[in-house]
Amino acid sequence: MRFNRTLFYKFLVGLFLVCWLTTDGYLSADAFSVSNSVAVPDANQLSSISTTCPAILLSSGPGSGKSRVLSARVCHLLLERHRVNGVKRSQAKVSGKGLFILSFSKADAVRIRQRSLRILHRDEMFKSRVDLRQLESEVWAGTLHGFASTILKNFGGIVPRVHRSRKRLDIIEKVLSDMRSSSSIPNELYEQSLVSSRGGGASTSNLISSIHQIIQFWKESALLGAIQFHDDSLKRERMPRELLSVCDHLCLHSTVAEVAYLLYPQYQKALRIDNAVDTSDLTLMAYKFLENNPSVLEEIRSQFVNHLIVDEYQDISPSQRNLLQIIVCGNPKHTDGIFLSTGKNSSYDQ
């Protein structure tokens, strides 16, 4: 077999980095064991797994091993954050309370949690310290909307009734029909929006879907807070410019946004009658609840949330970002507070 000098030198450099990081105290023995689960981790991945920085932003592209690093980071937190004075590390039980994994979909967050638990359970050194069922129940995994709903339920006793997408579309269809019958929406504007809606073809269902998309985007972008309502109606000519700018992002004509703007108060009124909310309302509700209850916010900071792992951070909305910021920012008690994993393009860049 021919000796490959280049590969040998790369191996020596990698071995030197690992030894240097370990002896310098930068990478603990437990973290090094966990990092072995990441296929050929480089120096950046190793430092991302074991860093003690209070906030970490991990920028990576497809196929770069991001999910494996996230899983190893979760393992590291589970093993490192529960050091107890006078208790040997080999005897300490692993607990997942206060660790939250947030992603764009619940399935993705659960997948990261399951991979982390499998990594821990494979390692003989920690196998006796890991109760998989208990950890699965302690480590919270889900979406930011679910996280907001959990805060409202656990600390405010608020259990929002969230309408599914099909029900919301039905409400928009009924409100649109009623407003057309009462001439609250000019027929000329309606016809223009009908032709300009997304989906290919001038159909009412395409227009309803486009209106729903715009309203949800407005809510997630936190653009509706400054709107003043007078007798549950809005004037078309007073429509804020920033609401119209959403159309460029969604590739929709401005007339669709104008119809959505006129329809919005009645849509919200229909939700209130049903005692229901949109999914997109949850993060704003949680944010307002914490803003108005400083003692609850402090309790969440100090006892409820210790670590946040946020996957696909580039796709979170401004409303969701506000909720994360009010919990994390200005909180000196966090030691490994928030770990953000991001790609290249944001769904909310405008």
DSSP assignment of 272-327, as one string?
A: HHTT-B-GGGHHHHHHHHHHH-HHHHHHIIIII-SEEEESSGGG--HHHHHHHHHH
Supply the pTM of this predicted model.
Answer: 0.77
Closest CA to 89 of 79, 99, 97: 79
Q: Would you state the structure tokens that stand for residue 43, as one six-digit string?
A: 């120096």
Q: Would you state the structure tokens that stand for residue 224, as one six-digit string?
A: 């509706």
Q: What is the pLDDT of residue 59?
A: 79
For residue 80, tell me if it sits in a domain.
yes
- Please state the domain count of the chain: 2
Closest CA to 81 of 131, 127, 31, 21: 31
Question: What is the Cα–Cα distance from 287 to 95, expressed in whole angstroms?
Answer: 28
For residue 183, tell me if it sits in a domain.
yes
Locate tokens 């700018």: which residue?
245
**Phi, psi (5° rounding) for residue 277?**
-140, 165
The verdict on 186 and 64 lying in the same domain is no
Q: What is the mean pLDDT of each run of 10 residues along the chain (350 residues)?
A: 52 46 39 50 75 76 77 81 47 73 92 86 66 82 95 93 93 95 90 76 85 93 64 62 82 89 92 92 93 92 86 88 86 55 57
Question: What is the Cα–Cα distance from 88 to 115, expressed in whole angstroms?
Answer: 26
Q: What is the pLDDT of residue 175?
A: 95
Domain interval for residue 269: 165-276
The verdict on 142 and 10 lying in the same domain is yes
* HEC string for 133-168: HHHHHHCEEECHHHHHHHHHHHHHCCCCCECCHHHH
For residue 350, tell me if it sits in a domain.
no
The verdict on 198 and 63 lying in the same domain is no
Strand order in the sheet with 99-102: 55-59, 338-342, 307-310, 99-102, 140-142
The verdict on 12 and 88 lying in the same domain is yes
Q: Would you state the structure tokens that stand for residue 92, as one six-digit string?
A: 């300490």
CATH number, domain with residue 106: 3.40.50.300
Run of H or E including 101: strand 99-102
Cα→Cα distances 229→50, 225, 259, 264, Å: 50, 11, 16, 10
The verdict on 151 and 11 lying in the same domain is yes
* Adjacent-strand bridge partners of 56: 339
The verdict on 188 and 244 lying in the same domain is yes
Q: Would you state the structure tokens that stand for residue 71, as one six-digit string?
A: 């899983």
The verdict on 142 and 16 lying in the same domain is yes
Question: What is the Cα–Cα distance from 310 to 341, expressed in whole angstroms?
Answer: 6
The verdict on 13 and 151 lying in the same domain is yes
The verdict on 120 and 237 lying in the same domain is no
Q: Is 126 strand, coil or helix? A: helix
